[in-house]
Structure 1
Amino acid sequence: MDPILELKGISKRFGNKVVLEDINLKIFSGEILGLIGRSGCGKSTLIKILVGYYQADKGEIIFNGNKIKRDFKEIKKIVGYTTQDNSFYEKLTIQENMYYYANLYNINKTTRKNRIQEILKEIDLYNSKDTLAGRISGGMKRRLDFAISLLHNPKIVILDEPTTGLDPILVEKFWEMVTKISKKEGISILVSSHILSELESYCTSAAYMENGRIKHLIKIDNNTKLEREFKK
């Protein structure tokens, strides 16, 4: 099986400091890949390259066999992104936020309404669509961020510490939603998290980063303990 996204020799430095060095990584369709490593290992910089915030100094990003141009618009077409912080506007309703971002993504006006309704129903926010985003629960806020990231039919969604601040029940519900939608729409998920137990439960594989490099690739099964990677 060919990867849906492949990184070849990605390197990045800031001044004299090397932050990423020769990153090679393949992400396959429908895969949920965890990105782990100690603080400062380069995870955040790699994510910012993948979403177009930074340009790599060296290397290639290949999508479905085609090299991606080094501009934000090209990457934005295929990648959805949720940050640790809420990206929506609290003084807008759930539905108003969806329409606002649909406009930013230039989603066709004739299909926009149906796409928004479809996502809100899938993520169980439709009945609350007229509620101000600032008044919804923490779990609903994470779902709204995820909903926004799905608007433009991305092939890959990047989740950065997606369950921070959620209680265990909401964490489980969030991941059940993510895995269901990943399977239904064939979306690959790249998730960066320090909560290793979640990645062990819901990811299919993981990449361990250290000093700006990917040191190990791990296939996750029932016996996987990601904490061991930090002790090698």
Structure 2
Amino acid sequence: MKKHILEVDGIQKKYNERVILSDVYLKCETSQIIGLLGRNGSGKSTLLKIIFGIVRASNKCIRIDSVSKNNENNVSNEVSYLSQEQFIPNHLSVKKAIALSIDKQKIKFFYEDEFIQSILNKRISHLSGGELRYLEIKIVLFNPSKFVLLDEPYNGLSPIMIDKVNELIKVNSQNRGIVITDHNYKNVIKISTQVILIKEGKTHYIRNNAELVTKGYLVDLELL
């Protein structure tokens, strides 16, 4: 299997003269799960949006397999993105949403999931927040991209559903790189192969959980 590499460097982003990101370096390779941590407003979601190309940055250097993507507004053929906001229209049925999103050859495999089977005959507007989130995550993870960016995937999920999502992420990481950020930091840390902390606009590669305390993200390791 060919290994793919996503590199992000030199990102600078301001909002109303407030510096959000100023010294960012992120590298994600096939089979890696990068956990992105940081306080509220630290720029985690903004960074994912810049990588995906839906938020502009005055300075950025984005490379995939050593090829610059700086001048490309859309990298969706190589990067999949799960936003915090709902992206499936409410008027669709679950079956129609799947048919529009998943390759026909993969739909049968997509259906081989007890939870998906349980919601197949519903409309999107009738799904609970957790049901909708799971469907969106699975659709994004089924895209044939080299990398996946997941913003708040655990939002609205029960503990059982979080376990199912974590299993999906682990399976998908075998042939792609994944970057995940979520307020549920315990699960982010648990599933990640590398944790990166954004603090004061800069990225810090975390070597062990104790560094999350020394860098002020956690008060005590017992919170894990």
Contact 1:30 1:188 survives alignment (8 Å): yes
- More deviation, 43-52/86-95: 86-95
Partner residue, 1:156: 147
TM-score (norm 2): 0.84
Matches within 5 A, 1:205-220: 205-214=194-203, 216-219=204-207
User: Alpha carbons of 1:226 and 1:159: their partners in 2 closer, same or farther (altered >3 Å)?
Assistant: farther
Q: Residue 11 of structure 1: CA displacement?
A: 1.3
TM-score (norm 1): 0.81
Matches within 5 A, 1:1-232: 4-73=5-74, 75-101=75-101, 112-121=103-112, 125-126=116-117, 128-183=119-174, 186-214=175-203, 216-219=204-207, 224=209, 227-228=212-213, 229=215, 230=217
Distance (Å, rounded) in 1 between the aligned partners of 2:129 and 2:111: 16
User: Matched residue of 2:85: which SS?
Assistant: coil
- More deviation, 116-125/22-31: 116-125
- More deviation, 16-25/155-164: 16-25
User: Alpha carbons of 1:153 and 1:208: their partners in 2 closer, same or farther (altered >3 Å)?
Assistant: same
Distance (Å, rounded) in 1 between the aligned partners of 2:86 and 2:45: 17
CA RMSD of aligned residues (A): 2.6
Structure 1 runs not aligned, ≥5 long: 103-111
Structure 2 runs not aligned, ≥5 long: 220-224
Contact 2:4 2:146 survives alignment (8 Å): no
User: Alpha carbons of 1:19 and 1:118: their partners in 2 closer, same or farther (altered >3 Å)?
Assistant: same
Give aligned pairs, total: 216
